[in-house]
Amino acid sequence: MSIFVKRKTYNGKKRLPNSDGLRPARSDRQVLQQSAERQFKRQFFGLLLVIVTWSLAMGWLLALATNAHSATPPAEIGTVDVVPAQYQLGQELYLENCSTCHIALPPAVLPTQTWKNLLQDSQHYGAQLKPLVDPPRILVWKYLSTFSRVQLDDEETPYRLNNSRYFKALHPGVKLPRPVQLGSCLSCHPSANDYNFRRLTSQEAEGQRR
């Protein structure tokens, strides 16, 4: 007599050995490997999307900045030296305290020692002034000391433009009036009241071109 072994089925699917009867048997290693591969692909494409988006955004911002820079005329440099951003507050405080009574001079026309003495002394050319206090004094001093010039060891500290060799060095070939006063600057520098000493009168500009 033949013995027939009926294989049990579930919804028409054969049960396989070593399975739960519902799906083909897989090893745990294969399942974990395939799951890791899918996760890696998702992370890779996600990272690629972030890189592409970032590149497009940076390109757009760079183009926008370039167009804005080309459309904006460069600011005029009126002082003797270009003043970086970290000294601009000190420059503003210097102008606020020194240009209300007279033309503010660029630090380069006098040596550092002169500015130090003027900043500490309450007697200012015959007038009684209230000395600056910290922190504004420190900011003004950093600006003045950075853009002024070193005084020679055997050089007398000048307090008048006539006695400053730096003032004379900045005016080569210029016939200076005697004595030189702050008001004399306006004859050649029409924008001196605005702290712009690079803009010259047409006569002086023509003389420099020659």
The pTM of the full predicted model, rounded to 2 decimals, is 0.59
3-state secondary structure of 69: helix
Higher per-residue pLDDT: 21 or 174: 174
Cis amide leading into 135 (omega within 30): yes
Q: How many CB atoms lie within 10 A of CB 122?
A: 9
pLDDT in tens, 112-170: 999 999 988 877 777 777 878 889 899 999 999 999 999 888 889 999 888 889 988 88
3-state secondary structure of 89: helix
- Among 37-51, 53-67, 98-112, which stretch is predicted with the lowest mean pLDDT? 53-67
Q: CA 137, CA 73: separation in Å to the nearest integer?
A: 34
Q: CA 193, CA 175: separation in Å to the nearest integer?
A: 21
pLDDT in tens, 12-38: 444 445 444 445 555 777 777 777 788
Q: ∠ CA(195), CA(199), CA(204), 5° rounding?
A: 130
Question: Given a cut of 80, is residue 5 above it in pLDDT?
Answer: no
pLDDT-based confidence at 76, cuts 50/70/90?
Answer: low
